[in-house]
Amino acid sequence: MKSLIIRVYGRVQGVGYRYFARKHARRLEIKGYAENMPDGSVYILAIGEEQNLKKFLEVLKEGPPLAVVEKVEYEENKDLKNIENYKDFEIKE
Protein backbone atom coordinates (compact mmCIF):
# COMPACT_ATOMS: atom_id res chain seq x y z
CA MET A 1 0.00 0.00 0.00
CA LYS A 2 1.32 3.44 -0.94
CA SER A 3 0.05 6.93 -0.29
CA LEU A 4 0.48 9.96 -2.57
CA ILE A 5 -0.15 13.66 -2.10
CA ILE A 6 -1.31 15.10 -5.41
CA ARG A 7 -1.92 18.73 -6.45
CA VAL A 8 -3.76 19.46 -9.68
CA TYR A 9 -3.54 22.96 -11.19
CA GLY A 10 -5.50 24.65 -13.96
CA ARG A 11 -9.23 25.11 -14.47
CA VAL A 12 -10.10 22.31 -12.06
CA GLN A 13 -12.59 23.88 -9.65
CA GLY A 14 -16.25 24.25 -10.56
CA VAL A 15 -16.00 21.66 -13.35
CA GLY A 16 -16.70 18.46 -11.40
CA TYR A 17 -13.04 17.56 -10.99
CA ARG A 18 -13.36 16.22 -7.42
CA TYR A 19 -16.32 14.02 -8.42
CA PHE A 20 -14.38 12.81 -11.47
CA ALA A 21 -11.46 11.92 -9.17
CA ARG A 22 -13.78 10.09 -6.76
CA LYS A 23 -15.38 8.06 -9.55
CA HIS A 24 -12.01 6.84 -10.82
CA ALA A 25 -10.57 6.36 -7.33
CA ARG A 26 -13.44 4.05 -6.44
CA ARG A 27 -13.03 2.15 -9.71
CA LEU A 28 -9.32 1.66 -8.93
CA GLU A 29 -9.92 0.86 -5.23
CA ILE A 30 -8.11 4.00 -4.06
CA LYS A 31 -9.01 5.57 -0.75
CA GLY A 32 -8.45 9.14 0.47
CA TYR A 33 -10.02 12.44 -0.46
CA ALA A 34 -10.12 15.41 -2.85
CA GLU A 35 -10.41 19.00 -1.66
CA ASN A 36 -10.51 22.39 -3.39
CA MET A 37 -7.74 24.72 -2.23
CA PRO A 38 -7.86 28.54 -1.94
CA ASP A 39 -5.27 28.94 -4.75
CA GLY A 40 -7.63 27.28 -7.26
CA SER A 41 -5.92 23.87 -7.23
CA VAL A 42 -7.31 20.53 -6.10
CA TYR A 43 -5.49 18.64 -3.33
CA ILE A 44 -5.80 14.86 -3.36
CA LEU A 45 -4.67 12.27 -0.84
CA ALA A 46 -4.61 8.89 -2.61
CA ILE A 47 -4.00 5.56 -0.87
CA GLY A 48 -3.79 2.31 -2.80
CA GLU A 49 -1.72 -0.25 -4.63
CA GLU A 50 1.16 1.21 -6.65
CA GLN A 51 -0.13 0.08 -10.07
CA ASN A 52 -3.57 1.57 -9.34
CA LEU A 53 -2.04 4.86 -8.20
CA LYS A 54 -0.13 5.07 -11.51
CA LYS A 55 -3.37 4.55 -13.45
CA PHE A 56 -5.12 7.13 -11.24
CA LEU A 57 -2.42 9.74 -11.98
CA GLU A 58 -2.86 9.20 -15.73
CA VAL A 59 -6.62 9.71 -15.43
CA LEU A 60 -6.14 12.85 -13.29
CA LYS A 61 -3.90 14.38 -15.96
CA GLU A 62 -6.81 14.23 -18.43
CA GLY A 63 -9.58 15.36 -16.09
CA PRO A 64 -13.29 15.65 -16.90
CA PRO A 65 -14.44 17.27 -20.18
CA LEU A 66 -14.77 20.86 -18.86
CA ALA A 67 -11.48 20.87 -16.94
CA VAL A 68 -8.19 22.23 -18.22
CA VAL A 69 -5.40 20.48 -16.36
CA GLU A 70 -2.22 22.53 -16.60
CA LYS A 71 -0.04 20.67 -14.12
CA VAL A 72 -0.16 17.64 -11.80
CA GLU A 73 2.40 17.44 -9.02
CA TYR A 74 2.71 14.49 -6.68
CA GLU A 75 4.95 13.09 -4.01
CA GLU A 76 4.94 10.07 -1.79
CA ASN A 77 3.16 10.73 1.49
CA LYS A 78 5.67 10.03 4.25
CA ASP A 79 3.13 10.54 7.06
CA LEU A 80 1.28 7.23 7.09
CA LYS A 81 -0.18 7.54 10.60
CA ASN A 82 -3.84 8.08 9.69
CA ILE A 83 -4.20 6.38 6.32
CA GLU A 84 -5.98 3.37 7.82
CA ASN A 85 -8.82 5.75 8.79
CA TYR A 86 -9.87 6.11 5.14
CA LYS A 87 -12.38 3.48 4.06
CA ASP A 88 -13.50 5.22 0.84
CA PHE A 89 -12.60 8.20 -1.36
CA GLU A 90 -14.30 11.33 -0.03
CA ILE A 91 -14.95 14.82 -1.29
CA LYS A 92 -14.14 17.50 1.23
CA GLU A 93 -16.14 20.70 1.01
Rounded distance between C-alpha atoms, residue 65 and residue 84, angstroms: 32
Q: Which of 11, 18, 22, 26 is catalytic?
A: 18
Is 26 assigned a catalytic role? no
Q: Which of 7, 11, 36, 77 is catalytic?
A: 36
Is 36 assigned a catalytic role? yes
Residues annotated as catalytic are 18, 36
